[in-house]
Amino acid sequence: MSAFPFDEWLRLSVTVLRISPEAFWAMSMRDWLTLTAAQSPDITPDDLRALMTRFPDKDTVNE
């Protein structure tokens, strides 16, 4: 028996992530673990405002 649940992973990749079986089997373990890793918390409005202040959009129209 495999240490990894490949059948479950294949089912998840096809039904949820919409990855073809061929693409799943061609994927590296690192790619798979990255795709299925827990997501970081959502950004808050305050976080977004702080980022927008720190990294303002450049005025590309007048450049």
Note whether residue 22 is domain-resident. yes
pLDDT surpassing 90 at residue 61:
no
Number of residues assigned to the chain: 63
Number of domains in the chain: 1
Give the amino acid at 8. E
Note whether residue 33 is domain-resident. yes
- The domain of 30 spans 1-38
Note whether residue 48 is domain-resident. no
Q: What is the pTM of this model?
A: 0.52
Note whether residue 13 is domain-resident. yes
- Supply the pLDDT for residue 53: 92
Which residue did the predictor score with more confidence, 63 or 25?
Answer: 25
Tens digits of residue pLDDT in 24-55:
999 999 998 888 887 767 788 999 999 999 99
Note whether residue 1 is domain-resident. yes
What are the two backbone dihedrals, phi and then psi, of residue 46, each rounded to the nearest 5 degrees? -65, -40
